[in-house]
Amino acid sequence: MRQLANQTVGRAEKTEVLSDDLLQIERRMELVRVVSHNTHKRMVACLQGQIGTDAEKRHKKLPLTALSQAMQDGGNQLGEESLIGKMMEMCGDAENRLASELMQHEMNIEKEILDPLNQLAEVDIPNILKQRRQLAKLVLDYDSARARWLQATKSIISGTNTQALTAKADSLKEEVDEAMNKMELCKVLMCNMPYPYELLKAQADHHRKSLTLLESVLPTIQAQQDSWTEKPAFGTALDEHLKRSSREIALPIEACVMMLLETGMKEEGLFRIAAGASKLKKLKAALDCSTSQLEEFYSDPHAVAGALKSYLRELPEPLMTYQLYDEWIQASNAPDPDKRLQALWVTCDQLPKNNKANFRYLIKFLAKLAQESDVNKMTPSNIAIVLGPNLLWAKTEGSLAEMAAATSVHVVTIIEPIIQHADWFFPEGRDVDFNVSGMFSMPAPLPNNVNHLTPPDYDSATIERKRPGSMVGPDGELPRRDRPTVPPPPQPPATGSDSNGICSAAFKTMGEALLFPSLYASV
C-alpha cells in the first residue's frame, strides 16, 4: 500500500510497466493465440503420417509407402523378365525412399514447428498473461527499492554515520539491480515467439532432398528402359527397331504380311476398307509387345491391313526416305515410260540397306496381292493409291487436302510400276520366303495345290512379262545393272506403265474415293 501510495502521490518516480511496443503486442496477444491454434490444427492435417508415433510406425502409415509396396509386389508378380515388371520394381524402390524422406521431414516439422506452435498457443501465451501481472508487481518493487536507495544516498550526504548509511545504500542498490533483472527477464519471455518462415525453410530443404533423390534414380531407370530389347515398334525409327530386335524385317511388316498371306489375299478392298478402331488398337498393342500370339486377328484382315498402314505412316521417316523424295518425284516425271522405269530403279537402288530390304519385302507381297485383283479388286493402281501415301511423303506437309493434291499422282506413278515389275526391280530371289524370322506358321496350301509363296505369273505369261522386255538378254539372262545410267534401250512394258495410263487409273480411283468415301476411309 505504501508503494502504491508513493507512486500515486508522486513521491516516488513511476516506471512504465510496458513500453509502447510491448503494449501493442499485449493487445494482440489473444489474436496471436487464436491464429497459432488454427495454424497448428491445419498443419497437422497436412501431414501424411500419424503424428506422435515412432519412425517405423509412421513410415508404414504413409500413402507413399503403400504405393511403393503395391508397385514392388506388382513387379514381383510380373517378373523381372518383362520391362513393366522391372520398371515397377525400380519405381517402387524409389517411392519407398521418397517415403522415408517424407517421414523424416514430417518428424522434423513436428519437432521444430508444430511443438513450438502448440507451446505458444496453449502454454506460452497464457503464461505471458500471467507474467504481465507479475511484471506489474516487479515494477512496483523496483520503483520502491529505487526510491529507498535514492533516499539512502541523500542521507549519506547530510548524515553523520556515513559508514552505516553507505552500507545500507549498497544493499538497496543490489535490490534495485535484482528487481531490474527480474523485470527485463519477464519482458523477454513476453517477446519470445517462433516465426512461420521456419516452416518454409524446412519444406524447401525437404523438396531439395527429394529432388536430389529423384535425380539420382531417374538416370538408372532410364538406362534400364533404354537397354531393354522389347520396345514399341510403332513410331520408332526403322533402324533403331531392327537393331534392338535383331531383325531384318520390321516385326509389324512381317507379322501383318504373314497374316494377310493366310487369310487376306482374296479379301475385297484390302487396304481400302477401314478396320474397327478397337480391333486395330488391340492389334497394334500386341505388335508393340513383340508377341507372336496373333491368332485372334487372322479373322479380320482389314484390321491387319490397317495396322500395316499405321506402322508405315507412323515411322518418323517414310520407308522411301525424305532424302530421296526429290529423286523419286523427278524419276516419276520422266516422260518416256522406259526411262521412267530406269530412273525409278536407280533411285530405288540408293535406298539405305534396311529401308531397301523392307521395301523389297513389302513390294514383293503387294505384287502377290495384285495377282488376286480379279477377286480382291486391288490392282497395282489401287494399291498404289491407298498405300502409296504411307510409303512416301514430303518432309514439310500442309493440310491433308494440299498433300493429297500435291503428291497423290506422283506417288501412284512411283509405286504402281514398282509393284507391276517387282521381280525386275528386285530380281534377287523370285520366290520370297516371307517368314524371315521363322516365328510365324506358314500358310496352309490352297485346295488347288497352289501355294501362296509360288504364285503364277500376272497373266499366266512368262516371267519376262513382269519386267520391260528389252531388259532380258538374248539368252534369257538379265543384264548386269552395276552401270544403270547406260542401260540397253528398254522396250515399253507389256501393261500399265505409260504415264497416261497411270494418271488415268489414279484419277479413276480418286473419283471412286469421292463417290464411295467409306471404302477409302483408311487411306
Confidence of residue 450 (pLDDT cuts 50, 70, 90): very low
Within a domain: residue 474?
no
516 pLDDT more than 60: no
Identify whether residues 45 and 145 lie together within a single domain. Answer: yes
| Range of the structural domain that residue 37 is part of | 16-227
Q: What is d(CA 14, CA 147) in angstroms, rounded to the nearest whole number?
A: 10
The answer to whether 492 and 467 have CB atoms below 8 angstroms apart is no
Within a domain: residue 341?
yes
pLDDT tens, 368-392?
999 999 999 999 999 999 999 999 9
Identify whether residues 276 and 215 lie together within a single domain. Answer: no
Identify whether residues 204 and 272 lie together within a single domain. Answer: no
Q: What is d(CA 118, CA 46) in angstroms, rounded to the nearest whole number?
A: 16
Per-residue cell: 102: 517424407
**Which of 6-20, 22-36, 118-132 comes out lowest in average pLDDT?**
6-20
Within a domain: residue 361?
yes
Identify whether residues 213 and 152 lie together within a single domain. Answer: yes
Identify which of 427-436, 444-453, 459-468 has the greatest average pLDDT: 427-436
pLDDT for res 224: 78
Question: Could you give the C-alpha distances from 469 to 20, 362, 408, 462, in angstroms and in order?
Answer: 112, 24, 28, 11
Confidence of residue 195 (pLDDT cuts 50, 70, 90): low
b/e map 181-212, b = 16+ CB within 10 Å:
ebbeebbeebeeebeeeebeebeeebeeeeee
Identify whether residues 79 and 59 lie together within a single domain. Answer: yes
Last residue of a domain, one of 379, 397, 425: 425
Identify whether residues 56 and 137 lie together within a single domain. Answer: yes
Identify whether residues 62 and 208 lie together within a single domain. Answer: yes
Q: What is d(CA 248, CA 440) in angstroms, rounded to the nearest whole number?
A: 15
State the pTM of this model. 0.53
CATH code (residue 284): 1.10.555.10
Q: Provide CB contacts within 8 A for 115, sequence distance 6+.
A: none
DSSP at 520: G
Question: Could you give the C-alpha distances from 76 to 6, 60, 68, 82, 231, in angstroms and in order?
Answer: 86, 20, 12, 10, 20
Q: Provide CB contacts within 8 A for 462, sequence distance 6+.
A: none
Q: What is d(CA 59, CA 515) in angstroms, rounded to the nearest whole number?
A: 67
pLDDT tens, 400-434?
555 555 556 778 889 999 999 998 898 876 667 88
Last residue of a domain, one of 169, 198, 227: 227
pLDDT for res 410: 79
Number of domains the chain contains: 2
Per-residue cell: 451: 501355294
Nearest-CA neighbor of 203 among 34, 33, 46? 46
pLDDT for res 362: 94
DSSP at 393: -
Nearest-CA neighbor of 29 among 185, 184, 181, 192? 192
Identify whether residues 37 and 80 lie together within a single domain. Answer: yes
Residue 296 burial (CB count, 10 A): 12
Q: What is d(CA 166, CA 335) in angstroms, rounded to the nearest whole number?
A: 131
Question: Could you give the C-alpha distances from 293 to 11, 141, 255, 285, 439, in angstroms and in order?
Answer: 108, 97, 10, 12, 10
The answer to whether 326 and 357 have CB atoms below 8 angstroms apart is no
Within a domain: residue 214?
yes
pLDDT for res 502: 42
Within a domain: residue 76?
yes
Last residue of a domain, one of 227, 254, 283: 227
Higher pLDDT, 291 or 383: 383
Residue 261 burial (CB count, 10 A): 20
Identify whether residues 322 and 352 lie together within a single domain. Answer: yes
Mean per-residue pLDDT, 320-336: 91
pLDDT for res 513: 46
Higher pLDDT, 22 or 264: 264
Nearest-CA neighbor of 478 among 429, 414, 417? 429
Nearest-CA neighbor of 100 among 53, 64, 125, 146? 64
Identify whether residues 262 and 219 lie together within a single domain. Answer: no
Mean per-residue pLDDT, 258-279: 90
CATH code (residue 105): 1.20.1270.60
Within a domain: residue 66?
yes
Identify whether residues 258 and 204 lie together within a single domain. Answer: no
Q: What is d(CA 253, CA 264) in angstroms, rounded to the nearest whole number?
A: 14
Mean per-residue pLDDT, 241-256: 89
Within a domain: residue 463?
no
Nearest-CA neighbor of 414 among 346, 462, 355? 346
Backbone angles phi, psi at 359, to 5 degrees: -65, -45
Within a domain: residue 377?
yes
Q: What is d(CA 317, CA 309) in angstroms, rounded to the nearest whole number?
A: 14
The answer to whether 391 and 411 have CB atoms below 8 angstroms apart is yes
Q: DSSP string covering 330-368, please?
A: HHHT-SSHHHHHHHHHHHHHTS-HHHHHHHHHHHHHHHH
Identify whether residues 213 and 299 lie together within a single domain. Answer: no
